[in-house]
Amino acid sequence: MPRPIGYRAKKPTLASELTAREAAATAATQAIDATDSARKFAAEHNINLADVAGSGVDGRITKADVESHLAALAAAESETDAGGKQL
């Protein structure tokens, strides 16, 4: 099958570049001090741990911190949804 006009194949990415990107992403998430349960809960709900304030020892992020951040996001979202509607 002929390629469409203007088609350009993506330049292949070297395996070493991929592993470097993965290592950088892992290092970025590991730099944040959080419990394993908080990391798992945040990953399940697509929450960036950098946005969560930690209340644990030395500012460590706990699962409760992530849950309260999620609740705050939901409350803020519901306020903006109700802001444009007449009750």
Distance between CA atoms of residues 24 and 35, nearest Å: 20
Distance between CA atoms of residues 83 and 69, nearest Å: 21
Domain regions of the chain by residue span:
34-81
pLDDT for 30 equals 64
CATH architecture of the domain with residue range 34-81: Irregular (4.10)
Q: Round the CA-based radius of gyration of the chain to a whole number and report it.
A: 20
Q: What number of residues does the chain have?
A: 87
Mean pLDDT over 13-39 rounds to: 77
Q: What is the pLDDT of residues 37-59, one digit of tens each?
A: 999 999 999 998 889 999 999 88
Distance between CA atoms of residues 15 and 42, nearest Å: 28
CA-wise closest residue to 53 among 69, 30, 75, 35: 69
Note if the pTM is more than 0.85. no
By the 8 A CB rule, do 48 and 66 touch? no
